[in-house]
Structure 1
Amino acid sequence: MRFAKIVSIAAALALSTGTLKAEETRQIYVECGGSFGDFVNRMKAKAEEMSYPPEVTEPFFRSANYLQRTINADRAQGIFNSDFIEFSRRLIAQYRLDKGRQESQKNDAIFSRIESELGVPRGILLSFWAFETDFGAFTGDFNTIDTLMTLSHDCRRPELFQPQVFGALELYARGDFPLDTQGAWAGEVGQVQMLPLDIMHRGFDGDGDGHVDLDHSVADALFSGANMLRSFGWRPNEPWMQEVVLPADLPWEETGVQPHHYRPVSEWEAWGVTPRSGAWEGPSLDGTLMLPMGRKGPAFMIYPNYQALFEWNQSYVYVATAAYFATRLMGAPVYDPGNADPRLSDGEMRVLQQKLAALGHDVGKIDGILGAGTRAAVQAEQQRLGLPADAWPTRELLNRL
């Protein structure tokens, strides 16, 4: 596979040939749907309005093809229906732990520079590097222009993907995005899987060769990932998560990953929450309790840096697993699984979401996935019904509703 070499941010801004700006994100440029050929022509015309010359727009848009397998992949994300224990055990295989520790040692100089210059710990970067591409072993086999154009044509989320097409066009205009660039089904490329606009505005030349090559340069990939996390609000040299032990009773309605649940760690300690091993990693910080499977399952204190991870990926279970894996790579023990109530089946979860929506809660799409909106609604209804409000949906709650 061949991937793009991306120029540094300073050079990229100087070499811009079009009018795409950093703030031009999350908008729909042209009408989605209809004939794919007509859609391609609309996108090409829009690019020419933005001052891209025909010698750039003609080959770029002429190369675009509709990819049905991109749509199939977009519709088939069933892995996120797993609960935390199932998902984490599936992703955190022994070989990934071993490989992560090997890569940490092999690239110690790179990680040390990142930790010193950007304040992002190696555990976090190793975790995302592992989950995104198995440490660069497989970075995707979807033609990136095809997949971005296909998702831009599809009317589910054109505001997310149409700007990325123009990001790719800008990079192509600079000679840094070959037409045969390949990556993931959603348009990300390279070892840490970055979208074109992220490459434009957050790419980092880690090896000092004047380019940001996310495919072949480990230094560029890791520095770019760290730089992206910093742009998401990562606070240098602060913790993100540690496992805790809970008392038998807590004000469970105060738990949860939403920012308004954060309070001084000293207050949680006063309620009887203690670290499972060692001392508090952020004794002077605010934190909150993340109970991915309710009060009877694994329990973690999370700190403000945890919120930055949701900008990388907005799946609750993915972020929880990546953050936990990072702690393992930094020496934490295997979590205590506890004895959580069984998760609802996909069908039961959809029924629960329908009931919650009927009660006026915004749970988003009725998809059977326990996301942030569903968790908040569950917690609210548990509190209303006098149940422990730990945001974990149980059959008792479903029956009560």
Structure 2
Amino acid sequence: MTAKPVALALALTLSAGAATAQCGGDFGSFVAGLQQEAVSRGHDAAAAQRFFSGVRHDPKVIQADRAQGVFQLDFTTFARRLISANRMQTGQQKARQFADTFARIERDYGIAPGVLLAFWAFETDYGAFQGDFNTLNALVTLSHDCRRPELFRPQVFAALELYEKGDFEPATTTGAWAGEIGMVQMLPEDILTNGVDGDGDGHVSLKTSAPDALMSGGNMLRSLGWRAGEPWLQEVSVPEGLDWTKTGLDHEMTAAEWQALGVQPRSGQMMRPDLPASVLLPQGRHGPAFLAYPNYRVYFEWNQSFVYVLTAAYFATRLEGAPVFDPGNPDPGLSGDQMEVLQQKLVARGHDVGDVDGILGEKTREAVQKVQIELGLPADAWPTPDLLNRL
């Protein structure tokens, strides 16, 4: 599954030069410019010529980039679509099969098996569906496209470096439409920085080696700030009288302070009462509720979609033994078209919602909460038809 960078893009480190990179124009001339830049960066001219010789523009990549409607689904619908009994069973089987690898990851990086199993499941169904887009064509096409060239142009040169190391083949390396490669879908720059030879064969082979893919994913999460041995998400129940203005990712208290306000774990004990945490209400105060610990924020470095991140984090807890979440009885939400209208109205009132795309992301949620406060409504950041009508 892929829908990046709105949803499934891995974290990118953008150079200052990339932000002003040229795009558009004749595709052949654009590729020639990339080749010339590669040589100026110190790459061998003959290698650069071979690398770029067969690159082609792929219109299907642009179509995929523009079509990401799945992220307009609400959390419960999205989670039920992605989390199947088969994915649970396969995850448990993979945990046993690669127990030694997961033990190394937990020892070296402090990351529980469920976290990487969830990514592995959602990204490629445990390696079964890694994408059939030619990776180089995808990266160059997205670099040429003027929507987000600064995200993808650095990846082209990273792929060239992988090619020079013998770990990338321009004609045959395939992956997701946004250029991610392998079982946990990593971009070339991230492979260079965080790739780990988990099976000891001298190469980082994320497409064919589960130990390589999992160890690399664990190393990347650590580099993104994962705190060893700490929880990331816990389902909770919330009292009807909670101050909803305190909920959302932009508000934190310790788990113990939340508990003093009536927020209780749905099962077991509060995982870490001493840690700062945010109460997340993905479908408002009458829907499911979660306590997000600091490690939860690392998920947004891997992926930018609120609904994907919450679902991946929740699935990780399920793979670690947590029960099925309580969907509650949330108030009706908005369709994608209605969400776009709402976003337009929020922008007109001076709020930053990011892209007007019909997707209820974190910026839209924060804007909704502010407007609910202005209108004297319960400020649970869940937009309803009633809120839209009032605006």
Shared fold by TM > 0.5? Answer: yes
Letter in 2 for 1:34: G
Using a 3 Å threshold, how does the CA distance of structure 1 residues 25 and 217 change in structure 2: closer, same or farther?
A: farther
The 1:187/1:23 distance shift into structure 2, 3 A limit, reads closer
1:204 alignment partner AA? V
d(CA) in 2 for partners of 1:106 and 1:170?
33
| Aligned residue in 1 for 2:293 | 303
- Equivalence for 1:37: 28
Hey, what does 1:4 align to over in structure 2? none
1:53 equivalent in structure 2: 44
Residue of structure 2 equivalent to 1:217: 209
Q: Matched residue of 1:365: which SS?
A: coil
Measured after TM superposition, the shift of residue 60 of structure 1 is: 1.1
Q: For 1:203-256, what per-residue CA distance to the aligned partner results, in whole angstroms no more than 9, with x for missing partners?
A: 112222322111111111111111111111100000001110111111111111
Is 1:118 aligned to residue 109 of structure 2? yes
1:365 is the counterpart of 2:349: no
Residue matched to 1:393:
383
Q: Distance in 1 between matches of 2:230 and 2:218?
A: 14
Partner of 1:72: 63
Contact kept? 1:30, 1:43, Cα under 8 Å: no
Q: Does 2:142 correspond to 1:151? A: yes
Counterpart in the other structure of 1:244: 236
Q: How many residues matched?
A: 378
Partner of 2:82: 91
Counterpart for residue 249 of structure 2: 257
User: How far does residue 41 in structure 1 lie from its aligned partner after superposition?
Assistant: 1.0
Distance 2:71 2:378 in 1: 25
| Counterpart-to-counterpart distance in 2, 1:390 and 1:254 | 9
Q: 1:339 aligns with which of 324, 329, 352?
A: 329
Q: Which moved more, 1:108-117 or 1:353-362?
A: 108-117
Structure 1: any 5+ residue segments left out of the alignment?
Answer: 1-21
Q: For residue 18 of structure 2, give the secondary structure of its aligned residue in structure 1.
A: coil
SS of corresponding position for 1:210: coil
Distance 2:267 2:16 in 1: 43
8 Å contact from structure 1 (residues 294, 340) kept in 2: yes
Contact 2:238/2:263 (<8 A) preserved = yes
Report deviation, 1:373. Answer: 1.1
- 2-structure distance, mates of 1:28, 1:47: 17
Contact 2:280 2:289 in 1 (8 A): yes
Alignment of 1:282 onto 2:278: no
CA contact (8 A) 1:234 1:305 kept: yes
Q: Percent identity, please.
A: 58
Unaligned runs of 5+ in 2: 1-12
Note the aligned Cα RMSD (angstroms). Answer: 1.2
Q: How many Å apart are 1:44 and its aligned residue? A: 1.1
Partner residue of 1:166 out of 157, 171, 176: 157
The code of the aligned residue for 2:208 comes to: H
Q: 1:385–1:151: structure 2 CA closer, same or farther, 3 Å change rule?
A: same
Query: Which among 92, 112, 115 is matched to residue 101 of structure 1?
Result: 92
Q: Secondary structure at the match of 1:97?
A: helix
Distance 2:76 2:204 in 1: 37
Q: Paired residue for 2:9?
A: none
Provide the rounded CA distance (Å) in 2 between the counterparts of 1:71 and 1:211: 31
Report the Cα offset of residue 25 of structure 1. 7.1
C-alpha offsets along residues 79-99 of structure 1, whole Å, 9 cap, x if unaligned? 001000110000001100110
Q: How far apart, in 2, do the equivalents of 1:290 and 1:43 lie?
A: 44
Runs of 4+ in 1 over 6 A off after TM superposition: none
Q: Deviations over 1:17-48 (max 9, x none)?
A: xxxxx874782464100111111111111112
Deviations 1:71-125 (A, max 9, x none): 1111111100100011000000110011001111111111111111110000000
Amino acid of the structure 2 residue aligned with 1:206 = G
The aligned amino acid for 2:346 is L
1:184 aligns with 2:176: yes
- Partner Cα separation in structure 2 for residue 23 and residue 38 of structure 1: 24
Q: Describe the superposition over 1:46-71 as per-residue Cα deviations: whole angstroms up to 9, x where unpaired.
A: 11211222211111111110001111
Equivalent residue number for residue 10 of structure 2:
none
Residue in structure 2 matching 1:319, options 309, 318, 321: 309
CA distance in 1, matches of 2:156, 2:103: 35
Contact 2:167 2:205 in 1 (8 A): no
Contact 2:14 2:150 in 1 (8 A): no
Please tell me whether the aligned partners of residues 252 and 276 of structure 2 are also in contact (alpha carbons under 8 angstroms). yes
8 Å Cα contact 1:65-1:146 kept in structure 2: yes
